[in-house]
Each structure stands twice: as structure tokens, then as C-alpha cells.
Amino acid sequence: MKLMVIGGGGREHAIIKKLKENPAITEVYALPGNGGIAADATCVDIGAKDIPAQVEFAKANGIDYAVVAPDDPLALGAVDALTEAGIPCFGPDAKAAIIESSKAFSKDLMKKYGIPTAAYETFTEKDAALAYLDTVSAPIVVKADGLALGKGVIIAETIEEAKEAVRSMMEDKVFGSSGDKIVIEEFLTGPEVSVLSFTDGKTVVPMVSSMDHKRAGDGDTGLNTGGMGTIAPNPYYTDAIAQECMETIFLPTIRAMEAEGRPFKGCLYFGLMLTPKGPKVIEYNCRFGDPETQVVLPLLESDLLTIMQATTNGCLAETEVKFSTGSACCVVMASAGYPTAYKKGFPITMTAETAKTTYVAGASLKDGQLLTNGGRVLGVTATAATLPEAIQAAYGLVEGVTFENAYYRRDIGQKALAAMEG
């Protein structure tokens, strides 16, 4: 079988490595992939958003199945176009991908179907938003409606700060048209949990839970990043909470999307907060999380391609999805300075042992030498029977990677360990 995976980060590398455990797969193409992914797939210089070129490539090369991993091509209709061209693929169509690309859509969906989330109001007029802020108390959260590179969420400690956020989004347009509409919502507290799930539009099968570490510095300090490391499973997410989430969040969401004429197929990511009043949805993503995938898929024991095809064909209920009972830890190694300015082009060396479970995010290949080519360079994952062992093993593997200006957090998983002890 010939497969094509759209995207070019650590998440895509983890998906490709897992897919290749199936011996029926003879060829994997990555569009565009990256210098590290090139060790496991044939990289093709077609951008993740160039949908016409993707369709043409798939047809010309006899692709049997395609996986669309990033949010942009999903929102732009890559799955619609490939399906129309007769290429079966993994991922939601554009109609369903809106669950991530519009916060107003997802908030209204949750309100209409009684899915627990932070109380909120939506505004398209600045003055109405400012007047509303005089009726609520701080802290309060202000969100731009559209995609804003992960920066469109302001947690305001005072009402004045919230008003400033409203003015910057609606008057100064700091996020462009993404701020034409804004959501003002209640500030929630509690541990955050990421739950990725497989769904064929009717059945939903949650994967093992995980915890991201979004801030750049140890102890959750510094700027927000795309994610500096992950652990799975998340110790805050007990069996009782999992059951409650299935009943109050996962199934109601799948049914709501179906009722709206937007059945969701693919990976639906639930960003949850475990509040004193029960689990609530902070955000939905229409795709695998990055770097959550780098700890979740290594724990998957069933065949990934079979599961993906079942989401496409609507037979997920009859398909085995089994996870190991062990734990995983992924430590992201970045270029010093990330998420602001950093240098690139430094040679990367790693031992063969480390390379087996390393997922490359930002590297290029020049004359056979891997060079750093991004803020987040790679993620090193270890699995083990227990979380403390997985953390120790991941940091052990990190020792096997060297590049100039490498930076990584030293405390990935420590909060989870404290939760297990407390």
C-alpha cells in the first residue's frame, strides 16, 4: 500500500513511524515532511496548504490512503478535495473542521447541546463588549474568534486589562480579521488534560490521556510555546472522570456535530479543564495534538492504519483500539531563544538508539547531514511501565542528542509526578 501524509512536524513524524509498523505499507510520502522525516518517508516538496498539488500528486502516484494532519489544510478542505478525487483519507472535511477554526461556532455548539464549558458571550461590536465587561468580575478571559497562531487568548487579571484586550483586538486589529468577532468567557481553574479521540462520526474512542507543557521555562514560567513536552497518561484523569467525560462531553459532541449536518471523522482533540464543578471543554482541535501525539501513539498497540481506515469507512465500533498500560514522556529540544528569535543551521547528531523514538519537527538535510531548521527541533520520547521510569528514560535519551544552542525544559512530567504523590 502507498500512503501520503500531509504535514511536516514532530506530530507527522510520530504518525509515520507508527503507520510503518504495518508491513502492508510499502511506501510513505510526506508532503512536505522535513529533513528528519526523510529517514522514514519520501519527502515531496509540496506545501501543506497546496491542495491542488496534493490531489495531483496522489492521483499520479497511485496513493491508496492519505492522512491530513495539520489544521490549515483541514480547514481549507483538503479532505473534501482528496475524497472527491477518489483518494480515501483520514481527517474531517471542512464543514466539520470548523469546530477548531471558529471559537464562536464551538461555543455556540456547546451551549445549544448542553456540553459543559465556560460561560461566555460573543461580540461583534466593541462598545457592547466594553459595556458587558462593566457587569462582570475579573479574572476574565478574552478570545479572538478565528485562528490567531495560539496567541488570541488573553487571561485578564483586571477588568481594565480585559478592556485593553478588547480594544487591541477590535480597534487596533492586532489579530486582523480573527478579532472581528470576540468571545468573553468565565475564567476557569483546575488541571488541564488533553484527550485525543478517534471517531467515525458515530462512535468515539478516546485515546490515552496526556498533559502538555506549554510554557518555555521550567516551573511553567516564560512565554507560551507550541509545547515543550508531554506525558501520558495524565494522572489527574481518573477512570471516573473519563467515564463522566464520555457521557457529558465526548458522545454529546459527536452527536451534536452529526445533528448539525457536520459529522466529524478523524481525530477530535478535547482540551479539558477539570474544574471544581466537573470537567469542562476549554477548546476543541480538529486534529492530532502536537506534541501530544508523540506520547500517545507510542503507547498504541493496535494497528494505526486499520483504525484510521475504520474512521473513514464508519466501522470504528468493530475495530480494536488498544493502548499499553505503560507511560510515555516526550522532551522537546528547541533552539535557544525560541519562541522568539533563534539561530538555525547547526548540525544535529544522535545515537541510533535515540533516533528510533525521536520525532523531528524542524530540521533540514544537507549533504546527508541533519541541520537545525526551526524553533522546536525535535522531541525525544521514551515509554516504560511507569511514569517515573518513562521520564528518566526520556532524559537519558536526550543525552544522546547534540546540537549547538540546544535548549529543553528539565521538569517535563514533574507536575504529574507531584499529582500522583499528592
Among 9, 36, 227, 235, binds ligand GLY (CB under 6 A): 227
Query: Total binding residues for ligand GLY by CB under 6 A?
Result: 6
Q: Please list the residues that pair with 173 across neighbouring strands.
A: none
Q: Which is nearer to ligand AMP, 28 or 118 (CB)?
A: 118
Burial of 66 (0-12, 13-18, 19+ CB in 10 A): buried
3-class secondary-structure state, position 254: helix
Contacted by 290, from ligand GLY, ligand AMP, none: CB < 5 to 8 Å by type: ligand GLY
As a whole number of angstroms, the distance between CA 37 and CA 249 comes to 35
User: Closer to ligand AMP at the Cβ: 118 or 254?
Assistant: 118
Q: How far apart are CA 139 and CA 85, in angstroms?
A: 49
Smallest separation, CB 292 to ligand GLY (Å): 6
285 binds, among ligand AMP, ligand GLY, none (CB under 5 to 8 A by kind): ligand GLY
Q: What, of ligand AMP, ligand GLY, none, does residue 289 touch, CB below 5 to 8 Å by kind? A: ligand GLY
Judged by DSSP in three states, 91 sits in: coil
Q: Does 35 sit near ligand GLY (CB under 6 A)? A: no
The answer to the question of residue 212 lying near ligand GLY (CB under 6 A) is: yes
Helix (H, G, I), strand (E, B) or coil at 191: coil
What does the binding site for ligand AMP look like in residue numbers (CB under 6 A)?
118, 141, 153, 155, 185-188, 192, 271, 282-283
Alpha-carbon distance of 291 to 360, in angstroms, equals 11
Nearest residue by C-beta to ligand GLY?
289
210: DSSP letter: B
Assess contact for 171 and 101: CB atoms under 8 A: no
Q: Please tell me whether residue 312 binds ligand GLY under the rule CB under 6 A.
A: no
Query: Interface residues for ligand GLY in 275-294 (CB under 6 A)?
Result: 285, 289-290, 292
Give dist(CA 422, CA 236) in Å, integer: 11
Partner touching 190 among ligand GLY, ligand AMP, none, CB below 5 to 8 Å by kind: none
Cβ proximity to ligand GLY: between 126 and 214 the closer is 214
Task: Name the binder of 266 from ligand GLY, ligand AMP, none, CB < 5-8 A by kind.
Answer: none
Q: Which residues, in sequence order, are CB contacts of 30 under 8 Å at separation 6+?
A: 4, 5, 7, 8, 12, 16, 37, 38, 41, 42, 43, 44
Closest CA to 100 of 148, 141, 67: 148
**How far apart (Å, rounded) are the C-alpha atoms in residues 255 and 196?**
17
Considering the complex, state which of residue 69 and residue 118 has its C-beta at the smaller distance from ligand AMP: 118
Residue ranges binding ligand GLY (CB under 6 A): 212, 227, 285, 289-290, 292
